Amino acid sequence: MTPSPFTWLRRRDLVTAYTLLRIVFGINFFNHGFTRLDSIPEFAQGMVDLFQDTFMPAPLVRATAFLVPIVEFLIGIGIALGLATEVALVTGIGLMAILMYGVTLLQNWDAASSQLIYCLVFFILIACRSFNDFSLDRVIAKGRDRPNS
């Protein structure tokens, strides 16, 4: 058996770090969506205007832009609370792929760089999901495991 190269890391510390990163990242996504919910039509029109000189059809840009705030809002709730965490994280990185396509099409390399950081955080949260001990997912799973009284 090969010893783990991370024996100096304590599970309790990793669980704490994972939980805090998950919550902060979830809050970020939640607020990205929440702050746009009351202005989705304006947000969508802004995206249509931004992509007007690309080959992307305006109806596709508008439909995507209408969904982005709602999806961000829901992903944020899931990640922050640790509720359907795997679904929220996989959906989130899927959204990042769509957004990355858009910003690179626009050649907005500063935004692309920022989005790569988001993708890295998604990677960490997905890869380290075994440390997702403090979450609603865990509470729900424990409730299912209890025998009926």
- One-letter identity of residue 76: G
Closest CA to 96 of 81, 84, 113: 113
* Structural domain span for residue 47: 18-131
Closest CA to 33 of 70, 63, 78, 67: 70
Model confidence pLDDT, tens digit, residues 52-75: 999 999 999 999 999 999 999 999
Got the DSSP string for 43-67? HHHHHHHHTTTSSS-HHHHHHHHHH
Quick check: is 126 in a domain? yes
1 compared with 117, residue with greater pLDDT? 117
> Would you say residue 149 has pLDDT above 60?
no
Model confidence pLDDT, tens digit, residues 2-48: 656 667 789 999 999 999 999 999 999 999 999 999 999 999 999 99
Average pLDDT, the chain: 94
Quick check: is 76 in a domain? yes
Quick check: is 7 in a domain? no
Quick check: is 96 in a domain? yes
